[in-house]
Structure 1
Amino acid sequence: MSENGQTDASRDIRLSSTIDRLPQNTRLKRLVDAVTNDSFNDWYDERLFTENILEGRPYFNGASPIPATEKHSPSKLLQCHRKVRYYGQNTPQEGDSPQGLFWIGNEFEEEIIVPFLQDTVTTDSTYVRNSLWIDTQVPTRSGDEVRVKGVTDPAIVDSNGHPILVTEIKTTSSLEYLDGPKPHHKAQLHAYMHALDSEYDRSIQDGLLVYGSRDMLDVQAFHVPFDDRFWRESVVEWMAQQTQFRENGELPPAEPVFEWECGTCPFKRRCGEHDGKYQDEGFTGLLPAVTSYRKQQLVEYFDAYPDAKLTPALADEYPELATEHGVYDWECSTCRGTFPHDQVDAGENSSPPLCEDCASNGELSELFVPRAEQQVVGTELGEPSER
């Protein structure tokens, strides 16, 4: 319900009536122009937001709790330490969201693989569980412990619901060059096996990694026996290093584990892997000249850091967020003056605007916005008891 008592539905009716009275060419253009990537993403974000509420999981609508230093998610193992730290600290993500890939992966798992396992793989005494919770402590070489917590993909279980074989389901663009399990997927499956082996009174030493092609709807499966050396020397060591970065409050080095990570990373601008304008930026703050933040990403960022503000570059694009959270002022390094964003004509080029006060005195001085690390962002979220 709006402030003047009009419902969204009544506004939509009035808008539809207005469009119906437009000339046909104008009406057609408006209809065509309404179908854009931005409008689709906004619609899909709103749909997920509503679905989470209706399904009883409103805690998904917002920033994720910052994990404890020793806690690790199976899906993040053996990847770029810096990228994982950015994710964990709710660093604002740049560019398009990978929700499409997540949706395809979930649909493939739930609508294809689970029924396939139920109809073809199970017997009269075995069943398919959609997932199993895992939460276990793992000793490291130093004597400290790390913690693996998450949820598995489908598992074959007995009549008591105890696991016999755990799976990891992944979709990929093509199976053509796939000759074995990818290391980070193998690590994820090892985390499941280790945790289930610890939590159930039976030995869980075998996993199944199933890849599905998004092109041909083919599958390729790999039997993955538990490899204790790989687990201790690669996976547990990676978790110990990530924990150390967290405990020291460090920004890890920009050392991607796989070649594809930088190309798909939502933090590549602040990391320095995009155009070189920014380099080794910290965990918080919006990059002043970047306009590729999507609305839902900003909403989640403000949920994590309530005292943060928009940059002037984003204020016109998201006026409702600007009203709610405020906008950083422009500053002049010469006269030290500050200027509200709506009183400065930034122009449409990428160059910073000039300080009019300095220009009136015959000086050319560019205005700037506080760098990401200088922006005040407030207190980080803590970790809840369960999620």
Structure 2
Amino acid sequence: MPSEDTNTEREAESLVSDTSLTDLVATISETKFSEWYDERQIEQNILDGKPYFNGPSQAKPPGKHSPSQLLQCHRKATYTRQNAPREGTSPDGIFWIGSTFEEEIIVPYLQDVVPDGLYVQNSLWIDSTVTVGDSEIRVRGSTDPAIVTADGTPILVTEIKTTTNVERMSAPKPHHKAQLHAYLHALDEDYAHDITNGVLLYGSRETLDLEVFNVAFDVEFWERVVSWMAKQTDYEENSELPPASPERDWECSYCSFKHRCGEADTPYQDINIDGLLPVFDGYDRDALEEYLDAHADADARLTPTLAHVYPELATEYGAYDWSCPRCGETYAWDAVDWDCDTSDPPFCPECANNGELLTLSGPDPDTQLKPESGE
């Protein structure tokens, strides 16, 4: 009679012989991981009672502001708030690291060090208004962990950020300070006792070293933040693309909208919030799907350039045609032979037959969405 070990070996051999190594490797891929992680996030949002996070982001009304977007470049804020298609790699990985750092390291740390009689609450919801002239500006969002009493009354609010290096930090970043001020302003209005101090805590993503700043509410600084919100509201109420106004010189290099804005080495400048750049392939798959889903009612599709990069998305969402700016001829995205080199777009076959070499393009961003959609 065969031993149990012999049977186990035979079962393992059978599994190996029945499993294609190619198929096995194919299950461990970037696409499969993305699908797995997306589904996992959907389930978590439902579990947390926040199923609304599973749909595409909604454009923000002009008079409503999120603390995390304050005191930044006005143009970048408009692109972000109005869901312009994001360029480059999605920052979701950084957000995940920040969330994990907060939940698994900082919250347990705070729970261990707060004095007896005080507790750590994961977050506090704020919803406040600020009067500017005859208008009211609304600020809504949730804080990072707060130190509270047994009945939930806040004593100290924190804002937790991760960064590459904390060694050279001598002061909190202004837009993070603005975020914390929004929380302090709202909470001070909601509770009978003064709430005038918060903590900005930075953690290194590489070493877990900390840099902590005590931030006292500064009326003059808050007035600067309110002025920024009022100006941002005016731009959006008037459907005006704001000027590019980075708070720091290096911001444009890392901005997710630098090509659209005109701060990159592509032939685009001052593009408004809607539409994809015609001959540009610098959108990742997640950003594209989010954009296409958010503008589904406006019949958003891929540019022919992006259809070549993501043919499976072209099958799902459709793609615009190539068009020639000279002769007006149009061609289906896959009807023209092209090697996907954006520095060398395909030539128009009709013009080439007439001895002219003119390149094709996709539709301009401002003509891509149906106007009757309300976009």
> Could you say whether these structures have the same fold, taking a TM-score greater than 0.5 normalized by the shorter chain as the test?
yes
Q: 2:89 aligns with which of 76, 96, 104?
A: 96
The answer to whether the Cα contact below 8 Å between 2:90 and 2:286 also exists between their aligned partners in 1 is no
Query: Which residue type is aligned with residue 176 of structure 1?
Result: E
Deviation at 1:226, TM superposition (A): 0.7
What residue is the counterpart of 1:321 in the other structure? 313
The 5-angstrom pairing of residues 1-387 of structure 1 reads 20-21=19-20, 27=22, 31=25, 40-41=33-34, 43-123=36-116, 125-140=117-132, 142-232=133-223, 234-306=224-296, 307-350=299-342, 351-377=344-370, 379=373
The answer to whether the Cα contact below 8 Å between 2:278 and 2:363 also exists between their aligned partners in 1 is yes
Equivalences, count: 357
Gaps of at least 5 residues in structure 1 are 1-15, 382-387
**In the TM superposition, what whole-angstrom CA distance separates every residue of 1:130-169 from its partner, at most 9, and x where no partner exists?**
00000000122x3422111000011111121111111111
Give SS of 1:191's match.
helix
Give SS of 1:156's match.
strand
Equivalent-residue separation in structure 1 for 2:16 and 2:318 (angstroms): 35
Deviation at 1:46, TM superposition (A): 4.3
**In the TM superposition, what whole-angstrom CA distance separates every residue of 1:318-356 from its partner, at most 9, and x where no partner exists?**
333212322111112232121111211123433222222
Deviation at 1:380, TM superposition (A): 5.6
Equivalent-residue separation in structure 2 for 1:174 and 1:85 (angstroms): 29
Query: Which residue type is aligned with residue 303 of structure 1?
Result: D
Equivalent-residue separation in structure 2 for 1:180 and 1:227 (angstroms): 15
Query: Which residue type is aligned with residue 344 of structure 1?
Result: V
Instruction: Kindly indicate whether structure 1 or structure 2 has the higher relative contact order, using CA contacts under 8 Å at least 6 residues apart.
Output: 1
Equivalent-residue separation in structure 1 for 2:99 and 2:229 (angstroms): 26
**In the TM superposition, what whole-angstrom CA distance separates every residue of 1:102-148 from its partner, at most 9, and x where no partner exists?**
1111111111111111111232x2111100000000122x3422111
Percent of pairs identical after alignment?
Answer: 54
Equivalent-residue separation in structure 2 for 1:219 and 1:253 (angstroms): 35
The answer to whether the Cα contact below 8 Å between 1:304 and 1:380 also exists between their aligned partners in 2 is no
Deviation at 1:377, TM superposition (A): 4.8
Taking structure 1 as the reference length, the TM-score comes to 0.85
Gaps of at least 5 residues in structure 2 are 1-14
Equivalent-residue separation in structure 2 for 1:226 and 1:374 (angstroms): 46
Moved more, 366-375 or 45-54: 45-54
Query: Which residue type is aligned with residue 111 of structure 2?
Result: Q
Taking structure 2 as the reference length, the TM-score comes to 0.88
Deviation at 1:268, TM superposition (A): 1.0
Query: Which residue type is aligned with residue 211 of structure 2?
Result: Q
Query: Which residue type is aligned with residue 90 of structure 2?
Result: S
Equivalent-residue separation in structure 2 for 1:186 and 1:41 (angstroms): 34
Equivalent-residue separation in structure 2 for 1:320 and 1:221 (angstroms): 47
The answer to whether the Cα contact below 8 Å between 2:305 and 2:340 also exists between their aligned partners in 1 is no
Equivalent-residue separation in structure 2 for 1:18 and 1:345 (angstroms): 42
